[in-house]
Structure 1
Amino acid sequence: MKMHKKSVYRFCLMVGAWLACTSMFAGTQGEGSVFIPADDAHIVYMGRISHRIPKAVTFTYPGVSIFVNFEGTSLRMKAKPGSGDFMVEIDDQLPYRISFTKDDSVLTLAEGLPEGVHRARIMYILEGFELKPVFEGFYVDEGCSLAEAPVLPERRIEFIGNSITCGYGVESNDRNDPFTYEMENHFYTYAAKTARALNAQHLVVARSGIGIYRNFGAPTSGSKDCLPAMYEQVMFTDPTELWDHSLYTPDVVCVNLGTNDTGDGKYDFGLLTDGYRKFVSHLRDIYPKAKIVLLSGSMLSGKPLDDVKRAMDTVVSERKQAGDSEVYRFDMSPQTGALGYGANWHPSMRQQQKMANELAAYLKELMNW
């Protein structure tokens, strides 16, 4: 008997609902489900990813995101045990955090959903250079599949930064807390919040402790592994695989560095300025048409903040004199403690929101968005 296409689809969902109730358990592969590998064309990614592992996706930078539309009533995710933490959004429901510990390879993202097509947005929220996360694919209900590939926003922002951009300590309310992965969450940073407010994609190149010419605690002469030196790599830990910039051309690049260069008061102003100068020149070579915004905020104060601003102002002035009028400056508010602190004196969640409000308003006007 030949069934109508819509009838087949409804039957698929009914079968999927029954299977979800009988065989979908977190952390087990289960029977009666369909595995779809990470290289499936219906899965869309945002951020720097590597395909070196067959049918899987690896990454190290926070903010890497996975977008998928799926049929059925449940969705499970497979990843390398110990990959770390993700924020998950299913349809229009509130986001929630999941963690792939050393004992987890499959986690249930949703079950018991209404019949129909659903969408999932999954963001990696940690710095993965130690954890080396690997996403392997999804399980959907038997008889179901992934739906049409999601279409991402046309607007594109690139954020280059340090621990502030990573989300270091943002889930803590105690400035005396040490760093732990449980307290890091890029989803709540000014970068991710700004992108959501402007309905834009965002790509992140950031690591805690890194600088424009000198990493935190390094000699004043500079660091060989400062951010500009790492910038071309797909994976922070792997210099053998270089990023193809044609895969993501931003409309605007936001650079928030300088805190680690100057925060301990030990730095060379000339080298600091030259670090900005050379990196902005490199970014302009890569992105001839993008606007570049040099940011300050929010952990610096006093002379270090003044010198970072002066170095960035110098470079912006030089670029304008050379005919490049698309390099800009913007200062987000320094933290005062009125909005609390995250771990180790880092921006609190409220401070990150304030930064996002300021930057989103600035970019909206700058970009005419």
Structure 2
Amino acid sequence: MKLKNLVCLLLVVFISQQYLVSQVCFINSTDNVFTFSGRVDHTEEGAVRFDWPGVSVNFQFTGETLELCIDGGARNYYNVFIDGDLHKVIHAPADTIIPVEGIKGNGWHSCRIQKRTEGEMGMTVFKGVRLAADAQIRALNDSHRRKIEFIGNSISCGYGTEGKAPEEDFLPETENVDKSYAFISARAFNAECYVTAHSGLGVVRNYGDKEPVSTQLATLPQRYHQVFDMDTSLVWDFSQWQPDVVVINLGTNDYSTDVSPPKEVFINRYLEFIRQIRSYYGDVPVFCVNGPMRDEPAYSNVKEVVERARNQYQDKNTYFIGIPNYLLNTTSDLGSDYHPSYRGQLKMARHILPVIANVMNWEYDDSEFETLMY
């Protein structure tokens, strides 16, 4: 009798497991229903890899069941937007299946999975999603008419934007590129946003380097051509995505300590980087930003870069935007490690938006700044 009961129990468990399996379907990341914003690699079978900040996976699905199959490593975090609103922040320290709970309604939903953290936090391997067995999935059509690339350092990465005080040390959990001036500005222009940035990097000298010109760790211009920030093995195909505008915010780390590069070395390398960008994108407007974490001599040197580009090299589509360090209130506008908080990043975006709008003859939506008060 006991043996019969055990057999019955095992049969029930087996049937139940088969029933549960039948309730979900897996869609591999290589399926064309997924669209990606940012530099990604499709060469690994059954997976899509990326590490730059702000890269996103986009799709639409029906139903209330959504599980994400992702390996993000111990230090990466992701924003999950459902129907345009932030629904959840996830952490995938291993090859994980993460349920996204609380989705309401059986109709169509949009989903965007956005990497909050920068490349130094690790590689992301996106495997796909699991949906209810009777769910549908389709590509999310890109509604953006404009494209902007932001090239920079920790400020552009959103380093410490969610930190509560400037005395706080950096944590991956408080880095959120979606709250950087880059994505704030892109939202205002309804533009797709690529962020090619890495904390601590400069044009010729990286933060904390004891030499005036860095030779041990690649600077941002030296890794700009790569598919991945932290892996030199693959070269990015720039024909895949052509921006309407390029914004460069570099120089802060070059002049972060008493050891700094010679002025002419900095200016010539910056000009070379602009020419490198031109070789990829042609005569797109390039805005060279300085600030707000470092003033002189970075401010004057970046401004001279633009003046030489325009006058000596007849590159009239290069522009300077200076953000003074006194734009930020030190008691309310700073997050971790004295970097701009979300409030500080809002101020930065509001400072540069009118310049870009005037050059491009673009209108922009300033509703995100409504809660910003000095």
State the TM bucket, normalised to the shorter chain.
Answer: 0.7 to 0.9
Aligned position for 1:285: 279
- Work out whether 1:113 is the aligned partner of 2:107: no
Aligned partners of 1:178, 1:216: CA distance in 2, in Å?
16
Superposition pairs for residues 214-229 of structure 1, below 5 Å?
A: 214-218=205-209, 219-223=211-215, 225-229=218-222
Amino acid corresponding to residue 283 of structure 1 in structure 2: I
Provide the C-alpha distance between the structure 2 equivalents of 1:95 and 1:160, rounded to a whole number of angstroms. Answer: 28
- 2:288 aligns to what SS in structure 1? strand
Per-residue CA deviations over 1:309-354 (Å, capped at 9, x if unaligned) read: 2222222222222222100011234234143321111111210111
Give the equivalent residue in structure 2 for 1:306.
296
Q: Shift in Å at residue 101 of structure 1?
A: 2.7
Distance 2:84 2:169 in 1: 34
Contact 2:53–2:195, Cα closer than 8 Å, also in 1: yes
Q: Is 1:86 matched up with 2:75?
A: no
Q: How does 1:179-194 map to 2 (within 5 A)?
A: 179-194=170-185
Secondary structure (helix, strand or coil) at the match of 1:241 reads: coil
Match of 2:156 among 162, 165, 174: 165
Unmatched tracts of structure 1, length 5 or more? 1-21, 24-28
Report 1:1-369 matches (<5 A): 31-80=22-71, 82=73, 84-102=76-94, 105-218=96-209, 219-223=211-215, 225-267=218-260, 268-300=262-294, 305-321=295-311, 322-334=313-325, 335-369=328-362
Matched pairs, number? 338
**Cα RMSD after superposing both structures:** 2.0
In structure 1, distance between residues paired with 2:143 and 2:103 = 27
Shift of 1:358: 1.8
CA positional deviation for 1:129: 3.2
* TM-score, L = length of structure 2: 0.85
Whether contact under 8 Å (2:118, 2:157) holds in the other structure is: yes
| Maintained 8 Å contact 1:61/1:128 | yes
Cα gap change, 1:275 to 1:32, in 2 (>3 Å): same
> Shift of residue 91 of structure 1?
0.8
Would the aligned equivalents of 1:333 and 1:355 in 2 still touch at CA under 8 Å?
no
Greater mean alpha carbon deviation, residues 177-186 or residues 242-251:
177-186
Ranges in structure 2 where 5+ consecutive residues have no aligned partner? 1-15, 363-374
CA contact (8 A) 2:161 2:339 kept: yes
Whole-angstrom distance in 2 between the partners of 1:222 and 1:82: 28
- Select the structure of larger CA radius of gyration: 2
SS of the residue aligned with 1:105? strand
Tell whether the 8 Å contact from 1:51 to 1:57 is kept in structure 2 after alignment. yes
For 2:287, the aligned partner's letter is V
Instruction: Give TM-score, length-normalised by structure 1.
Output: 0.86
**Identity among equivalent pairs (%):** 31
Query: For 2:291 and 2:83, how far apart are their aligned partners in 1?
Result: 33
